[in-house]
């Protein structure tokens, strides 16, 4: 076991997959000489050469479109979109092309590719360097969407995404890059896509969350434990396909569910999780399902007051958890 | 040299140039059959290649069917026939039958794809295939293969962002791509002059750092010549070429369009007189490769092929409804 930062876990897993399989290559803006604006791809150019670490023009649609073509021709591209906020010009390529390639060709063609994108706020990124865009893609059959919260999952899910025969969107929360450290196994085992993980066992309330929310919920759960409230925390890890079995089991375990995410509430992932529980486990519940999510504004402001007012906090999550426990 | 026929001077054998003509005639016959079936209420949708067969035939013969890749667009019927599809496969697609190799009846006709033949599956939003071709060419370059990737589109599509992003990308990385614009003068109803601020689509190549070539798309042999040059250059590592074949869309945009609302019959009739199939026929007659008897034989063979294909496709089964959920992801059936 090695202890790594979240960003190191991503970097190392990517480098190891490139070493393991010569078909894997990275492309994106500033991923080469600069090593990525966050340094996720630092050193890869020196190690693997410019044929496999490609600095592209500023051209998100072509980054994804070229990756689709390269994957059709037998390569495994890992495309980086510099900020998740900038993925929108590539949405036609992602939704019309990558997501539908296998289906529309009746299983003749497929797109084994990964699109990595840093998302989320809390880093003074203002409106266009802070967004959570995952729900735009979780609606789309043909795509897989993962949002690791820990270094171990960041490594394992990246390996799984690279080895997956279908397109995977890999969203990495940029506030976790250098704030979260954790053990990462030496082995190169993937973490299976589509499987949630219980991050803390508890009996009174269940928190279902992902990404940064996992860390907020775990810290809040520690505080609640001091007051005798036992919280169960389920980390979704994969947002499409959702792990229905794990979600229902976590809901039934305590009968009280709080769903937490930084993305705004309306039609967010929490809405689907909530509907799933309502459809299959309503009579096991002891309280209405609650959601704590980002506010219904277009994005968070640059001013620290506005950013703080937007972001979830340990205090806010703990308060929502206590309120649910009291119900 | 004056008495060496054009096709031989270009390196095409007599058999090859006759074959080129046969594919053009076959494409027209398949296309016309689809319209007939559509008007008879048997197939819900047709999108045509009529008027663009010569451009596609010239390009198809200039590429290597054994190693090159295609990212075609929805008018490339003649091209995919040259590439190994048949009247039967395309009528199966028109009838949306399970055996259609393009999509098993999932997509509209004209949405070509076939992994076995290196034809990448295409969609309906226009221009998305252009970056795909660049990605395929990137893979060729990375693996040191000498294959090229051909991608086609209309002049209307050359206004899409993906056109710009893809050509620039290919220019920067000097990739083996043939960008082939089939300028048929109309984007559904909007004429060329309302689509392009520059005189030619080929003029745009200058902005991407590679050559743009204009060719008479009604002259299959001339198209062959310029595409062949571009292919040879790409194989040598000389990078991409943008070729604009000037053609004319003889049919309405699709079976759901009525082109009388935006262009005159006189204009269409005038264009019909320059039809590339007729020009090729006249050429073959002039060099003594085709006479009335040979032509009649060819016509009958094509007719029989299209009849057989129609009957087969009409009888073939549809996809079973339970296959609806298949192939969203791998190994999920």
Residues of A within 8 A of B111 (CB-CB) are 104
Nearest Cα residue to B88 out of B293, B248, B331, B314: B314
Q: What is the CATH number of the domain that holds B160?
A: 3.40.50.970
Nearest Cα residue to A107 out of B96, B124, B323: B323
Instruction: Judge if A52 and A80 occupy the same domain.
Output: yes
Query: Rounded CA gap, B296 and A172, in Å?
Result: 66
User: Does B258 score more than 60 pLDDT?
Assistant: yes
Mutate to test the interface with B, among A105, A141, A238 (most CBs of B within 10 A): A105
Q: Do A105 and B149 touch (CB under 8 A)?
A: no
Handedness of CA A127, A129, A131, A137 (dihedral sign): positive
Q: Do A166 and B330 touch (CB under 8 A)?
A: yes
How close does chain B come to A106, measured CA to CA in Å?
A: 5
How close does chain A come to B99, measured CA to CA in Å?
A: 10
- Residue B332 lies inside a defined structural domain of this protein: no
Of the pLDDT bands very low, low, confident and very high (cuts 50, 70, 90), residue B332 is low
Q: What is the CATH number of the domain that holds A313?
A: 3.40.50.920
Instruction: Judge if A131 and A253 occupy the same domain.
Output: no
The ipTM (two decimal places) reads 0.97
Average pLDDT, chain B: 97
How close does chain A come to B261, measured CA to CA in Å?
A: 31
How close does chain A come to B251, measured CA to CA in Å?
A: 27
- Residues of A carrying an active site annotation: 129
- Residue B26 lies inside a defined structural domain of this protein: yes
pLDDT of B3 reads 81
How close does chain B come to A12, measured CA to CA in Å?
A: 23
- Residue A190 lies inside a defined structural domain of this protein: no
Mutate to test the interface with B, among A65, A96, A240 (most CBs of B within 10 A): A65
Q: Is A143 on the interface with B (CB under 8 A)?
A: no
Instruction: Judge if A209 and A243 occupy the same domain.
Output: yes
Spell out the SS3 assignment of chain A.
CEEEEHHHHHHHHHHHHHHHCCCEEEEECCCCCCCCCCCCCCCHHHHHCCCCEEECCCCHHHHHHHHHHHHHCCCEEEEECCCHHHHHHHHHHHHHHHCCHHHHCCCCCCCCCEEEEEECCCCCCCCCCCCCCHHHHHCCCCCEEECCCCHHHHHHHHHHHHHCCCCEEEEEECCCCCCCEEEECCCCCCCCCCCCEEEECCCCEEEEECCHHHHHHHHHHHHHHHCCCCEEEEECCEEECCCHHHHHHHHHHHCCEEEEEEEECCCCHHHHHHHHHHHHHHHHCCCCCEEEEECCCCCCCCCHHHHHHHCCCHHHHHHHHHHHHHC
Q: Do A65 and B330 touch (CB under 8 A)?
A: no
Please check whether residue B34 is in contact with residue B43, taking contact to mean a CB–CB distance below 8 angstroms. yes
Q: Is A59 on the interface with B (CB under 8 A)?
A: yes
Q: Collect contacts of B114-117 with beta carbons under 8 A, ≥24 apart.
A: B114/A108, B114/B80, B114/B83, B114/B84, B114/B85, B115/A105, B115/A108, B115/A109, B116/B84, B117/B65, B117/B70, B117/B83, B117/B84, B117/B85
Q: Is A105 on the interface with B (CB under 8 A)?
A: yes
* pLDDT above 90: percentage of residues in chain B: 98
User: Does A86 score more than 70 pLDDT?
Assistant: yes
Q: Which residues contact A32 (CB under 8 A, 6 or more apart)?
A: A41, A44, A45, A50, A53, A54, A55
**B173, B262, B279, B312: the active-site residue:** B262
Instruction: Judge if A159 and A19 occupy the same domain.
Output: yes
Of the pLDDT bands very low, low, confident and very high (cuts 50, 70, 90), residue B281 is very high
Give the number of A-B residue pairs with CB atoms closer than 8 Å: 137
pLDDT of A1 reads 85
Q: What is the CATH number of the domain that holds A121?
A: 3.40.50.970
pLDDT of A110 reads 97
Q: Do A56 and B169 touch (CB under 8 A)?
A: yes
- Out of B124, B138, B327, whose CB is closest to A103? B327
Residues of B within 8 A of A93 (CB-CB) are 128, 131, 162
Number of structural domains (chain B) is 1
The alpha carbon torsion through B65, B71, B74, B75 (nearest 10 deg) reads -50
pLDDT of A294 reads 97
User: Does B250 score more than 90 pLDDT?
Assistant: yes
Residues of A within 8 A of B120 (CB-CB) are 69, 72, 109
Query: Rounded CA gap, B89 and A74, in Å?
Result: 26
User: Does B143 score more than 60 pLDDT?
Assistant: yes
Q: Do B138 and A93 touch (CB under 8 A)?
A: no
Nearest Cα residue to A33 out of A25, A20, A44: A44
- A168-207 pLDDT, tens per residue? 999 999 999 999 999 999 999 999 999 999 999 999 999 9
Of the pLDDT bands very low, low, confident and very high (cuts 50, 70, 90), residue B333 is very low
Residue of B nearest to A68 (CA): B132
Q: Do B139 and A75 touch (CB under 8 A)?
A: yes
Nearest Cα residue to B28 out of B213, B216, B158, B220: B220
Beta-carbon count within 10 A of B288 CB: 9
**B204, B225, B253, B283: the active-site residue:** B253
Q: Is A238 on the interface with B (CB under 8 A)?
A: no
Cis omega before residue A85 (within 30°)? no
- Residue B208 lies inside a defined structural domain of this protein: yes
Q: Is A163 on the interface with B (CB under 8 A)?
A: no
Q: Which residues contact B326 (CB under 8 A, 6 or more apart)?
A: A107, B332, B333
pLDDT of B331 reads 82
Domain that holds residue A216: 197-326
Q: Do A65 and B123 touch (CB under 8 A)?
A: no
Which one of A184, A208, A229 terminates a domain?
Answer: A184
Mean pLDDT of A294-315: 97
DSSP state of B133: H
- A208-259 pLDDT, tens per residue? 999 999 999 999 999 999 999 999 999 999 999 999 999 999 999 999 999 9
- A316-326 pLDDT, tens per residue? 999 999 999 99
Instruction: Judge if A132 and A263 occupy the same domain.
Output: no
- Residue B184 lies inside a defined structural domain of this protein: yes
- Residue B333 lies inside a defined structural domain of this protein: no
Q: Do A57 and B172 touch (CB under 8 A)?
A: yes
Strands A168-173 and A231-235: unpaired
- Residue B297 lies inside a defined structural domain of this protein: yes
Q: Is A53 on the interface with B (CB under 8 A)?
A: no
Domain that holds residue B205: 6-325
- Residue B1 lies inside a defined structural domain of this protein: no
Of the pLDDT bands very low, low, confident and very high (cuts 50, 70, 90), residue B2 is low
Number of structural domains (chain A) is 2
Residues of B within 8 A of A78 (CB-CB) are none
Mean pLDDT of A264-287: 98
Mutate to test the interface with A, among B124, B142, B163, B326 (most CBs of A within 10 A): B142
- H/E stretch holding B71 reads strand B69-71
- Residue B90 lies inside a defined structural domain of this protein: yes
Q: Is A109 on the interface with B (CB under 8 A)?
A: yes
- Residue A56 lies inside a defined structural domain of this protein: yes
Instruction: Judge if A33 and A110 occupy the same domain.
Output: yes
Which one of A127, A162, A184 terminates a domain?
Answer: A184
- Residue A191 lies inside a defined structural domain of this protein: no
Of the pLDDT bands very low, low, confident and very high (cuts 50, 70, 90), residue B22 is very high
Task: Determine whether B46 is exposed, middle or buried from the number of CB atoms within 10 Å of its CB (0-12, 13-18, 19+).
Answer: buried
DSSP state of B317: P
Which one of A139, A154, A184 terminates a domain?
Answer: A184
Please check whether residue A170 is in contact with residue A222, taking contact to mean a CB–CB distance below 8 angstroms. no
Q: Do B132 and A51 touch (CB under 8 A)?
A: no
Mutate to test the interface with B, among A28, A52, A76, A104 (most CBs of B within 10 A): A104
User: Does A43 score more than 50 pLDDT?
Assistant: yes
- Out of A69, A100, A105, whose CB is closest to B134? A69
Instruction: Judge if A72 and A167 occupy the same domain.
Output: yes
- A12-34 pLDDT, tens per residue? 999 999 999 999 999 999 999 99
- Residue A58 lies inside a defined structural domain of this protein: yes
- Residue A192 lies inside a defined structural domain of this protein: no
Nearest Cα residue to B79 out of B222, B187, B224: B224
């Amino acid at each position: 076991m090695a202890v790594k930062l979240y960003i190191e876990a991503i970097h190392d897993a990517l480098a190891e997959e490139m070493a393991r399989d010569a078909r894997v290559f990275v492309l994106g803006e500033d991923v080469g000489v600069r090593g990525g604006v966050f340094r996720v791809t630092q050193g890869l150019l020196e190690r693997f050469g410019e044929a496999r670490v490609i600095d592209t023009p500023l051209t998100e649609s072509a980054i994804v479109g070229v990756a689709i073509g390269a994957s059709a021709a037998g390569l495994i591209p890992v495309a980086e979109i510099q900020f998740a906020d900038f993925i929108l010009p590539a949405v036609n390529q992602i939704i019309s092309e990558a997501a539908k390639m296998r289906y529309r060709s009746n299983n003749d063609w497929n797109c084994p590719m990964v699109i990595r994108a840093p998302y989320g706020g809390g880093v003074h990124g203002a409106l266009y360097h802070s967004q959570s865009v995952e729900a735009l893609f979780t609606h789309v059959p043909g795509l897989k969407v993962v949002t690791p919260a820990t270094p171990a999952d960041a490594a394992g899910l990246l390996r799984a995404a690279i080895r997956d025969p279908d397109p995977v969107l890999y969203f990495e929360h940029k506030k976790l890059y250098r704030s979260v450290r954790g053990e990462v196994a030496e082995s190169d085992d993937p973490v299976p896509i589509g499987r949630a993980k219980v991050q803390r066992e508890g009996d009174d309330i269940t928190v279902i969350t992902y990404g940064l929310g996992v860390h907020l919920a775990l810290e809040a759960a520690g505080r609640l434990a001091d007051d005798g409230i036992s919280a169960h925390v389920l980390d979704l890890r994969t947002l499409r396909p959702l792990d229905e079995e794990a979600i229902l089991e976590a809901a039934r375990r305590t009968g009280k569910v709080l769903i937490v995410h930084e993305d705004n509430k309306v039609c967010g992932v929490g809405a689907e999780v909530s509907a799933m529980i309502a459809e299959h486990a309503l009579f096991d519940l002891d309280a209405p399902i609650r959601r704590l999510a980002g506010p219904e504004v277009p994005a968070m402001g640059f001013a620290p007051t506005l950013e703080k007012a937007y972001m979830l906090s340990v205090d806010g999550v703990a308060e929502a958890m206590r309120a649910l426990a009291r119900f | 040299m004056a008495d060496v026929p054009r096709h031989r001077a270009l390196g095409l054998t007599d058999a090859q140039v006759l074959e080129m003509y046969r594919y053009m005639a076959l494409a027209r016959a398949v296309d016309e059959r689809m319209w007939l079936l559509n008007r008879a209420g048997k197939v819900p949708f047709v999108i045509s290649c009529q008027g663009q067969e010569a451009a596609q035939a010239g390009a198809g013969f200039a590429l290597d069917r054994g190693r090159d890749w295609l990212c075609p667009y929805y008018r490339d019927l003649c091209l995919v026939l040259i590439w190994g599809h048949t009247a039967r496969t395309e009528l199966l697609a028109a009838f949306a039958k399970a055996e259609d190799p393009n999509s098993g009846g999932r997509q509209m006709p004209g949405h070509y794809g076939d992994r076995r033949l290196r034809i990448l599956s295409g969609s309906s939003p226009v221009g998305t295939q252009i970056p795909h071709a660049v990605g395929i060419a990137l893979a060729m370059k990375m693996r040191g293969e000498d294959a090229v990737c051909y991608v086609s589109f209309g002049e209307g599509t050359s206004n899409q962002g993906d056109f710009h992003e893809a050509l620039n990308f290919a220019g920067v990385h000097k990739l083996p791509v043939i960008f082939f614009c089939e300028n048929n003068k109309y984007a559904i109803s909007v004429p060329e002059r309302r689509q392009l601020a520059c005189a030619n689509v080929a003029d745009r190549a200058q902005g991407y750092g590679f050559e743009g070539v204009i060719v008479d798309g009604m002259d299959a042999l001339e198209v062959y010549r310029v595409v062949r040059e571009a292919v040879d250059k790409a194989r040598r590592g000389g990078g991409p070429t943008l070729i604009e074949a000037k053609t004319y869309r003889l049919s309405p945009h699709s079976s759901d369009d009525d082109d009388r609302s935006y262009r005159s019959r006189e204009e269409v009739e005038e264009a019909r007189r320059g039809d590339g199939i007729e020009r090729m026929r006249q050429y073959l007659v002039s060099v003594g490769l085709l006479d009335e008897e040979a032509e009649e034989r060819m016509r009958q063979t094509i007719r029989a092929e299209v009849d057989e294909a129609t009957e087969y496709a009409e009888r073939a089964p549809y996809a079973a409804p339970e296959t609806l959920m298949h192939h969203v992801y791998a190994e999920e059936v």
